[in-house]
Structure formats: C-alpha cells, structure tokens
Chain A
Amino acid sequence: MSQNPFEGTEGQMKDLLKSIKSHRGEAGALMPVLHDAQNIYGYLPAEVQTVIAEELNVPLAEVYGVATFYSQFSLTPKGKHQISVCLGTACYVKGSDKILEAIEKELRISCGECTPDKKFSIESCRCVGACGLAPVMIIDGEVYGKLKPDDVAGILDKYMKD
C-alpha cells in the first residue's frame, strides 16, 4: 500500500487500541476508528489498517476499501505543514486556481504532493464555507482569505523558517 517505512511509536499504538476498544461492538465502528487513526498517525499506513482489521474483526480488504474511498483518509504521509487550497465554487470564481498555481510554483511540487524535505504538502479541498473570504487557503488549520497570487510567497516564508 504505502512505500514509506512505517515509523509508528508505541504511544501511538496505545492510542489506537484505546480508540478501537471504545468503539468495539458498536455498529458502523470502522469510520470513527479510521478517523481516530488518521488523527493519531497523520495517515493510514498498511500496518495500521492491518491492526484495525484484526481488532475490529473485519476483512482487511474492507478496511482498505473504506480508507481509499474517502478523500480525507490518506495512505501517504503528509508534510509538516499542510496547505489546502479551497477549490469550491465561490473561491474558484474568484481565482483560487491561480492561488494554487502560485503555491505549486513556489514549492515546486504539484497539488497532492509533498516536498522532498517533508516540510510542505499541498492539496486542494472542497468548500470550507469561508466563502465570504474567497479565495482562501488553509495552512495547518489557519485560514488565509482574500488572497492574491502575489501574497503566497510572503505567507509561505513564515513557515519556511521553522
């Protein structure tokens, strides 16, 4: 599934098992457990999916099927700083595609990729509902609105430094 070596810690595994325990026996438990796992590890490596399959007693194929169906679940690790550019209609009409282009140019990676130093990853996202601020991008949960392509470099600079 994923090519990156698995670097999970014991603490993370403990958290995962705790989550599984709290949902075990509950109908439709797989989605909430995958959400927790994604929060704990930042992505859903094969090793984690295997544990979930065994502990919840569902076939690994089903876990993989669900994990790959939803766009919020990721099978590959993400960058230290996660950039999402809203490509919802309101943002698109106001030129968010140009914002995305500017970020791609600045970081020299394409949407959906991670920089070689694992510092940044870019993804496009669906409407975040901040349409009043269109076009918007989100870096690590922080929303930047009313953007112009020229603003991008300055904002990314802040994150380059740490």
Chain B
Amino acid sequence: MTCEELEKLAAKNADLINVRKIVREQAEKLAQNTGYRKQVLVCGGTGCTSSHSLDVIAQLEKSFKELKIDDVLIVKTGCFGLCALGPIMIVYPEGAFYSQMTPEHAKTVAEKHLIKGGEIVKELLYADTVHEDGSVIPFAEIPFYKHQMRIALRNCGVIAAESVEEAIAAGDYKALKKALFEMTPESVIDEIKKAGLRGRGGAGFPTGLKWQFTKDAVGDKKYVCCNADEGDPGAFMDRSVLEGDPHCVLEAMSIAGYAIGAEEGYIYVRAEYPIAVERLNIAIEQARKLGLLGKNILGSNFSFDIHIRLGAGAFVCGEETALIASVEGKRGEPRPKPPFPANSGIFHKPTVINNVETWANIAPIILNGANWFASIGTERSKGTKVFAVGGKIRNVGLVEVPMGTTLKTIIEDIGGGIPDGKSFKAAQTGGPSGGCIPAKYIDIAMDFDNLTSIGSMMGSGGLIVMDEDTCMVDIAKFYLEFTADESCGKCTPCRIGTKRLLEILTKITEGKGEPEDLEKIKEIAEHMKSSSLCALGQSAPNPVLSAMEHFGDEYKAHIYDKKCPAGVCKSLLSYYINPDKCRGCTLCMRSCPANAISGSVRNPHEIDLKKCIKCGQCIAHCKFGAITKK
C-alpha cells in the first residue's frame, strides 16, 4: 500500500476507535457516524479467556441473532489490565464496565441493555463504577485507571486485537511512515537517544545507544530482534502487548530496521503464550498482505520482514546471548560479553535486541517527539513503566504509570490495597533477579535507580505484593528453587552456587539452620555476583540478600528460635488446641491422619506434638477456630 492508502484506511475507521476514547456525550454523537449504535468490547487476553470470555462472546452473538440486534459491534480486544475481574466487558458509548461476566450475564445484558432503548444493568457492573446515588461512572474514571498513563498499553483493550484496520485507525504504522519519509536513520536514532528511553527488559540500558552501536558496527547483514521470552514469573506485560496490539511491535521493529540498516527481524516468543503467538502470526500475515512488511514498504526503498521463533521453556533464554543461541537452533546457553550483540549477534551479525515493552514505546516517541517523552518520568528514568501487580492485592492486573510513581500509589490507590484486612509486608520487584521492598519504603518513587539503591531492581516489572502471612525465608527459597532449576549449568558459580544457597535456605526453613549460615550465604553470593557468566547467576542471590537485609530478624527467628513468625515453614510450626474454644466435637480427631489427637466427646481435645505430622487437616475441619499453629 502507499502512504495515501494508509491514511485513507486510518481515517475510515477513526471514529470507531474514537468512540472508545472520549467522554460520553461526544462519544454518543460520534457513534452515529460509525453505523453502530453501540460497541461491546470483550477481553480476549489470556487472563479473561482462561475465565471463559470466549463463551461470553458466543452468547452475545447468539442473543443478537435472537433479538435481531444488528447495529451493535462486538469487538474481541486484548487485555484491559484489571485481570482480577475477568471476564471484562465494556459497552460504549456509555463506557459501562461489566465485570466477571458469564454467558448468563451476557444474555441479560443483551436483552436489557443492548437492545434499542435498553438501560445499563447496574447489578452486573463492577461495583466500584456505581455511585451510591445509582449513577454510573465510566470505567476510565475509576481509581484503577485514573492514576495510570498508558503509552505502551495505549491500544490494549481499545482495539480489536486481530484487526489490522483497527490497529491502523488507532495510529499504528503512522510513526513508520514518518520515519521513512520525513526522517533519516540518524535522526531516528537521535530522537530515541534524546527521549532517554531505557530498556524495559531488566537492565535498563539506553535503547538509543544500543541502536547507535548496531548501526555503527560493520557487517554485510544486520538483524533486529524482539525479546518476547518473558520469563520473570508473575510478569505478563509483554504478553499483553503482543495479544492486544501486535502491530505496534512489528512497526517499531521496522523503524529500528530502517535506523540501523537491517532487512530482517526475529521475534523470540515463549511457547507458553499460545494466544500471543497466534496473534503475532496473524499480524505478520496482515502486514505482509498490505505491504507494511516485505519489499519497498509504503513505496519507499526500505524492505523489511519478520520471522517468529518459539522458545521452549528455558528462563535463561531471556538473556540476550542465550536468546541468540536459541534463535540459531542451539542450546540456549549464554556466552561471555564482549562481543556484544550490537557487534556479533544472531548468526554472528550485528543485532539490536529489545524487549517487547521497549518496542511498544518507539512509535509514540517518533510521533510525539523526544521532548514529550522526556518530560514524563524522573531525571534518569523517562517515560512510563508497566507493572504486573500480583499476589496479595485486590486489583491483580497490569498497571502503567509514569516512572517515579510511588509504590504506595500503585498498591493502595490503583491496586485497591491488601485484601482480607491484612497488612502490607513487602513487595518483590524484578522477580528472581530482584529483591524486596519492605513496608517502610512504601513511599519510594519507583524508577530504575531508586530500586537499585535499596537492593531491589526494576527488572521487567513484575511486582508481587506480600502480606503478613508471607515468610521471607520461604519466598527467598522459592526464588532459589527457580534459579537453581533454570541455571543452564554452563558456568560453575551459578550452577553450584544456586544449589548450595538453596540447600542452606532449605535447612533454615526446616529448623536446622546454624548461626554461621548467614555468613556462608553472603560469601557464596559474593562469588556468584562477581564470577557468574551471565545476569542469571550474577543476580540469583539478590532475593535472599535483600530479604536478609530487610528482614534479618525473621532469618534469626528461624535459626536461633526455630520459629517461623509468619507461620509458613511447616517444620517450625506446632499445632495447639485452645481449650476455651474447643467444644469437643471430635471432628479434628476423626480427620487427623496420624491419630495424634485425643479427647472425649464434649471435652477439650489435645494434640500429641510427637505424633503430629503438621498436615493442617485439623485446622481445616475445626468449625470453632480452636486450633492455631505457632
């Protein structure tokens, strides 16, 4: 297609998208131009499809046929971010936010709301969107969305995820056009450099510099690579971008190809993300068909094409040199740097590798300019960051906020706080490479440097919230189980170090810890940090080191007092029956598989601690809350 055709296509569907973006009164007017009285957006991301959002769509289609509704558009979008409430369904132009939908609910909404003259079904709306006086708040104005600033996720949950027409109408490929016809490769790189964009995958290296190095490197062929091997357990922003707006990644990679002089790109994506893989394949086919990938893109001299490579479940492949080995069809083992991928990457050619979220920021920078982007965020961390907020928090989901937003805003205002009346203990960022932020730092402004200064790291943006019931020794052990399992085994410090650290931590959680263990952990950690081959081994000790720093007392309690203050480590717990609460119903006695409980009917029972296997069956069966573990 030519530039004019691209513009025409964008203009044709522009109002369709605008209805979903602006305030109600205007949206209603705009809706009249689109030919659709209403639009129903249903989330088709992994979270919501897992809770059967596709059945909701099927029911809507069925109901529309029965009710003869033909002027309401059903749109299957990517992730809206508020995954805890899935399946999510939003009706425009009202912006009515229906949550936890079932096919039954969909039928009701079709019959009462979507038919001509229908009214919003308030009982099915997300409770926070209904005022006490009964008026309805559009979903964009609830606290979860109000504090966010969506750049990388700009189109997620806004456009139909499998429609190139809607992607174009929402602005995709406009930046590519601008780069190809109004900018030189040098000025593209300068813009990215000036914007101060840093890689969102973990290390935070300046993206513009990476591009510059690759452009300057000598090579007959160069490659652009997208790292979509999102391995940090609990982080899923990359998946959401690929599922919700795959074209934005293709566009950004093409822009990089133009800037550094590459004609080929690879997307290395986890095989665990089947929906993302499928949408990427669809998007690549669509782009090729329209001439947005392939020879002479938009009638220019620039040619570029993209291939997909599937990972196969190896965390280490998120490391760039390991990823390159895997793209080449080898074992995904890292190699020493230098040479850096910018000089010797895929098939030994100069290669620029960026993570998905980084790519998602490229087009807005090109379109709105470096100054705009640099005006957002903190001094050394520009723009926004997407956090995958999970664990013990009410609004589990994806949150995009300006760099420098405080942890408190994310957890309390956006996340809705900790459920069940529990208190906030710590947040883990950076996954198995990061560390924890204890409650006393809740006012920390989240950016690359602040997190590093307190012994954690930004990482890819996983943010796991922990409450008083989480044991910090157990959680450090959990991360070491992960890294010990995922260590590729190539270099000794990582292979042996993770194993030894895990053994020591296991010992501590079993009540066999010794005072010198804490010193041993520090010594092994130092060696791993200084001599491991890649970032996996270098950062593997971080979770235990930061937990020891911030929760030293908890480690000491395990080692000296043989107690687990959070009540998690099984070997350190004892079960007791409170004689004042026990009614002598015998339920616990009968449920105990070890016959450790004795007593007669209507008299308080007792647990023989020598026989008790600490399985917790008695607690589960007691109806009077008489059994505690200490």
Contact = CB atoms under 8 A, between A and B. Distances in A.
B455 interface: no
Given A71-B312, A132-B397, A143 B50 contact: yes
A132 B328 contact: no
Q: Considering the complex of A and B, which 8 residue pairs feature the smallest CB-CB distances, nearest first?
A: A132-B83, A70-B312, A88-B233, A90-B390, A28-B329, A143-B50, A30-B329, A129-B236
B312 A145 contact: no
Interface string B218-258: 00000000000011111110010000000000000000000
Contacts of A29: 329
B488 interface: yes
A88 B478 CA distance: 10
A128 B329 CA distance: 24
Contacts of A145: 50-51
Interface string B257-285: 00000000000000111000000000000
B466 interface: yes
Contacts of A30: 329-330
B309 A125 contact: no
Nearest to A33: B329
13 contacts: A27-B328, A30-B329, A35-B312, A69-B314, A70-B311, A90-B396, A93-B475, A126-B313, A129-B273, A130-B46, A130-B47, A132-B47, A133-B47
A138 B234 CA distance: 16
B391 A90 contact: yes
B329 A129 contact: no
Nearest to B466: A93
A128 B233 CA distance: 8
B315 interface: yes
B272 A126 contact: yes
Contacts of B311: 70, 72
Contacts of B392: 93-94
A153 interface: no
Interface residues of B, number: 52
A131 B47 contact: yes
B311 to A, nearest CB: 8
Contact of A129 (B47, B328, B333): B47
Contacts of A129: 46-47, 230, 236, 239, 272-273
A32 interface: yes
B231 A89 contact: no
Contacts of A31: 309-310, 312, 326, 329
Interface string A138-151: 00000101000000
B86 interface: yes
B235 A127 contact: yes
A41 interface: no
B313 A128 contact: no
A20 interface: no
B327 interface: yes
Given A31-B312, A125-B272, A132-B84, A89 B50 contact: no
Interface string B41-78: 00000110011000000000000000000000000000
A132 B329 CA distance: 34
B390 A134 contact: yes
A35 B271 contact: yes
A65 to B, nearest CB: 5
B491 to A, nearest CB: 15
B19 to A, nearest CB: 27
B288 to A, nearest CB: 18
Given A28-B328, A90-B464, A93-B464, A130 B233 contact: no
B428 interface: yes
B388 A130 contact: no
A92 B326 CA distance: 28
B233 A90 contact: yes
A30 B327 CA distance: 10
A16 interface: no
A100 interface: no
Contacts of A71: 312-314
Given A89-B391, A132-B86, A132-B397, 11 more contacts: A62-B330, A89-B390, A89-B478, A92-B233, A93-B466, A93-B475, A128-B46, A131-B234, A132-B82, A132-B83, A143-B51
Given A31-B309, A133-B51, A69 B233 contact: no
Contacts of A72: 271-272, 311-313
Interface string A19-47: 00000000111111011000000000000
B390 A131 contact: yes
Interface string B475-503: 10011000000001000000000000000
Nearest to A56: B329
Given A93-B464, A127-B233, A32 B310 contact: yes
Nearest to B332: A69
A138 B169 CA distance: 36
A90 B234 contact: yes
Interface in A45-99: 62, 65-66, 69-73, 87-90, 92-94
A128 B332 CA distance: 20
Contacts of B328: 27-28
A133 to B, nearest CB: 6
Contacts of A87: 233
B83 to A, nearest CB: 3
Max chain B C-beta neighbours (<10 A), residue from A27, A127, A128? A127
Contacts of B51: 133, 143, 145
A63 to B, nearest CB: 10
B431 interface: yes
A73 B86 CA distance: 32
B114 to A, nearest CB: 26
B331 interface: yes
A34 B272 CA distance: 15
Contacts of B108: none
Given A129-B239, A131-B396, A136 B234 contact: no
A31 B268 CA distance: 12
B464 A89 contact: yes
A95 B309 CA distance: 33
Interface in B448-489: 462, 464, 466, 470, 475, 478-479, 488
